[in-house]
Amino acid sequence: MIKGVIFDIDGVLLDSMEIWDDLGAVYLKSIDVVPEDGLNTILFSMSMEEGAAYLKEHYMLKQSTEAILCGIQKLIEDFYFYRVSAKDGAKEMMCFLKERGIGMTAATSSPRLHVEKALERNGLLCYLDRIFTTGETGISKHSPDIYDLAAAHLKSGPGETLVLEDSLYALRTAKEAGYITMGVYDAKGETDQEGVKNTGDRYLKDLRDFDAAFEYLQDKTMKKEKDHEDSINDSRK
C-alpha cells in the first residue's frame, strides 16, 4: 500500500521551469544587452557561477562576475516570490492525498526560501510535512539518499512510497532504489519524454489525471503485497 508521497517541486508542483530555460537571456535583457540565439543551450550544463563568468567574458560586460551572479539570483528570487504559479491540478492532487491520510514531503534542488515562498503564496505549503533540499543535505538526486530521508520522515519504505519527478535522471534514481515512481510531463522540462514514460511506473501528462493514476498504482501495489503474502503462506504449508 502506498503510505507516503515525495514530490519534486519545480516542474511537478510549480510551473517554474521557464525561469531556468531563459535565465541568461532574461538577465541580459534586464541590462539592455541583446542575447544570442541558443544561449540557453550554451548555459545549460554550466553552474550559475560558470554561467555568470561566460556572460561577462562573451558579452564583455562591465559588471563583475559577482555582480552578474547577484543580478541573476535576484531575478530568480523575484520570480519565486511574486510570479511563479502552481501547476494546474497541483492543489487538487494534494487535497486528494490529504483526504486519504497519505503523508507528503518534497525533495528539491532549489533553495528552501524560494520554494517555500512560492508554495505558500499558491496555497500548497500547508500540505507538505517537510521539504528536503539538496543544498542543505549535500546530496544530489543522482543518489537516492534524499528520497530515503524523505521516506524515513514519512515512516514508509521505498515500496510504500510514491515519488513524482519530471526529470529523467531523478526518476531513474528513485526507480532503481525501489520506489514507486510517476513521471510528470512539463512543457519546459525534460526533453526525453519517452525516457520519462518508459522509466516511471506511471506517466502523468496532466496533474488533473492524478487521481486515476494513483488508484491504479495503489491497486497494483496492494496486489503485489497480497501475492507476496500468499507466496509466503504457501511456502509454510
Is residue 180 within 8 A of residue 154, CB to CB? The reply is no
Q: What is the predicted pLDDT for the residue at 49?
A: 85
Q: Grid coordinates representing 169?
A: 535522471
The contacts of residue 144 (CB under 8 Å, 6+ apart) are 173, 174, 176, 177, 179
CATH superfamily of 4-16+85-236: HAD superfamily/HAD-like (3.40.50.1000)
233 pLDDT more than 70? no
Is residue 8 within 8 A of residue 169, CB to CB? The reply is no
Q: What is the predicted pLDDT for the residue at 230?
A: 64
Q: Which amino acid is at 130?
A: R
pLDDT confidence band for 47 (50 / 70 / 90) = confident
pTM of the predicted protein model? 0.87
pLDDT confidence band for 46 (50 / 70 / 90) = confident
Q: Grid coordinates representing 42?
A: 550554451
Q: What is the predicted pLDDT for the residue at 95?
A: 98
Question: Among residues 13, 10, 4, 8, which one has the least CA distance to residue 153?
Answer: 4
Work out the average pLDDT over 154-178.
97
Q: Which amino acid is at 108?
A: T
Among 42-51, 76-85, 223-232, the minimum mean pLDDT is found in 223-232
Q: In 3-state terms, what secondary structure has residue 124?
A: coil
Strand partners, 133: 108
Q: Grid coordinates representing 170?
A: 531523478
164 pLDDT more than 80? yes
135 pLDDT more than 80? yes
The residue ranges of every structural domain in the chain are: 4-16+85-236, 17-83
